[in-house]
Structure 1
Amino acid sequence: MKSLWLDRLSGKEPGWTATPLAGLTNRSFLLSRGEDRAVLRLPGPGTERYIDRRAELHNHEIAAGLGLAPPILLADSDCLVTRYIEGAQGLSPESFRDPAVTDAVGRLLARLHRSHHAFQGRMELFPKVDQYLALAGAEASAGLRHLRDLAEPARATLAAHPVTWVPSHIDPSPANFLQGQQGLFLIDWEYSAMCEPAWDLAGLAIEARLDETQRRRLLEAYEAPDRERLAVRVELFRALLHLVAASWAAAQMVTAEDRDSYRHLADEYTARAEPLIAGPAFGSLVASLR
């Protein structure tokens, strides 16, 4: 069945070869046949519990139309095939030692956030953490649940001081940015949704390990009109998104084959969240939003 489905890409003859690509939750492959190249993504086990694939396709198509994501070639409920970006390489935290990379990423996120398109889905931080913790059940450590309780004051403060939500990627790790001769692209739109801008900016800061100077440069490239207000929210989200990552990893342990890897991730993000949320600066950061 999959062979027949893939033959729709071009021509009528079979003969595709599939080379596994690196991935965390999904299974991805480089498809090759003659000069044809494409990327096949198969959903990982258990992801249907918290990912809306119809929303993903809708949002990815918008991003591709903006020139920010590889075009979709074929898609159904089980598979996603996108155009292969020749010669492109994923970024890494080390890539951001080059200020030009930080500038380019900041401008790309600004283009997405200010595109005025409406993504399907909403990404709400505390409900998402609670969803993951519920899915994780006993896999979520007592330390992680304690940090979730300590973070509760931020929920009411964020709700009392809302900002305009924008189309967001939600998972802007360096590896999801592909840099090549054709420009800079973002891949893996499965978590994309409407959200406040601070999520993408803080998420990138966490995964790229940006220091204070690099975070300031990112916001300068992003060119927000209310930069100081946004900077405060980014710092708060930088603390809170560690909870999202830790609870997500804990939820993965329920269905993953490699449970130890996800346990390590959950423990790592919990340890990184502890000084940011349990420390004395957290209360001051929450208060500064008022």
Structure 2
Amino acid sequence: MERALLNTFGTTALSTIDILAGGLSGATTYKIALNGKDYLLKLEPSAPGITAAGKGLTCGEIATRAGVAPPIYYLDPAEGVTISGFIATRPLREVFDSPQKLLGELARTIRSIHAMPLLPKQNNMVAIADGIFKQLAASRTIGADLYAEVADCYAAIREGFPMGGSDMVPSHNDLNPNNLLCDGTRIWVIDWDAAFQNDRYVDLAIAANFFVADEEQARFFLEAYFESAVGDYKIAQLFIMRQLCYLIYGALILMRTGEGKLALASAEEQAAYGRGLLQEGINNIRSPRFQRSLYFVWS
């Protein structure tokens, strides 16, 4: 970190340093102030985003060049240190003061992500999901009855829904509100450590789970993304992927809560939130709409 500061600014004399909340990647991020200006400092020891040969652009650099992510001032992928521009963010729902405005801007942002050049990281979505639910079972962070329901619902998706198909695009894979920053005019996307080529509906589903309230908004969101009317097939794709993302996010939150690194009150709140996400996915997968959606996907 000291080397990064010296190479970028010629000094390590920070005015302030504050830790920030992160996303799925596990990176530690800080807001730092130096010479009267704020920056984002990220530490990721696992050095994600490097190509197999150790060359080429990282996912974050590609996003910066595409105008989707803030500027990067320093990057050392081998040591996992990045210094980038800090966005003095405002609440999305304050800037985009109607569901249509917000969902339209989210759709535009996701469309820009999916139009980026090929990302260097390649992962298998099915293998990742399989691994997460195996880890959930081993972690014993939920009771046997709830896990049996989760496993059964994941099996219904795994067997009935074509995950990881041919419609692969550059995907952020963690579009939670912490990673969507608004400068008062537009949305910037940060934390690209979980990015890789993935099914386009993953980004759409994650964003929808945080910002889409009902079926009418879901249709509006998809039509804004595709810039055209959408039929039952695309609506069904989004609905099923949303349930998978509920299960995955719930599992990840509960496993991290079970690591014992949070204060008790915070851990209890996070655990309740994780179980709530699991239950939302379970309820929707048990509903008649899930079977109808599978029919539309295969018809």
**Same fold, TM-score > 0.5, yes or no:** yes
Deviation at 1:3, TM superposition (A): 3.1
The equivalent of 1:231 in structure 2 is 235
1-side partners of 2:163 and 2:208: how far apart? 25
The equivalent of 1:164 in structure 2 is 167
The 1:92–1:9 alpha-carbon spacing in structure 2 relative to 1, beyond 3 Å, is farther
2-side partners of 1:227 and 1:276: how far apart? 21
The equivalent of 1:205 in structure 2 is 208
Deviation at 1:203, TM superposition (A): 0.8
Aligned residues: 281
Q: Which deviates more from structure 2 when the two are superposed, residues 237-246 or residues 220-229?
A: 220-229
Contact 1:132/1:251 (8 A) holds in 2: no
The equivalent of 1:244 in structure 2 is 248
Deviation at 1:13, TM superposition (A): 6.0
The 1:147–1:21 alpha-carbon spacing in structure 2 relative to 1, beyond 3 Å, is closer
For residue 39 of structure 1, what is the amino acid of its counterpart? L
For residue 240 of structure 1, what is the amino acid of its counterpart? L
The equivalent of 1:54 in structure 2 is 50
2-side partners of 1:205 and 1:80: how far apart? 29
The 1:257–1:182 alpha-carbon spacing in structure 2 relative to 1, beyond 3 Å, is same
Does structure 1 residue 19 correspond to structure 2 residue 18? Answer: yes
Deviation at 1:98, TM superposition (A): 4.0
The equivalent of 2:9 in structure 1 is 10
The equivalent of 2:275 in structure 1 is 267
Gaps of 5+ in 2: 52-56
1:191 counterpart SS class? coil
Contact 2:176/2:206 (8 A) holds in 1: yes
Deviation at 1:53, TM superposition (A): 4.9
TM-score normalised by L of structure 1: 0.83
For residue 89 of structure 1, what is the amino acid of its counterpart? R
Contact 2:169/2:199 (8 A) holds in 1: yes
Gaps of 5+ in 1: none
Contact 1:167/1:195 (8 A) holds in 2: yes
The 1:68–1:160 alpha-carbon spacing in structure 2 relative to 1, beyond 3 Å, is closer
Contact 2:153/2:285 (8 A) holds in 1: yes
Deviation at 1:182, TM superposition (A): 6.2
Deviation at 1:151, TM superposition (A): 3.2
The equivalent of 1:253 in structure 2 is 257
For residue 11 of structure 1, what is the amino acid of its counterpart? G
Post-superposition CA distance 1:160-210 (Å, at most 9, x none) = 893410001111123322121563211121211111111111111102243
The equivalent of 1:29 in structure 2 is 30
The 1:118–1:39 alpha-carbon spacing in structure 2 relative to 1, beyond 3 Å, is closer
> Identity over the aligned pairs, expressed in percent?
20
TM-score normalised by L of structure 2: 0.81
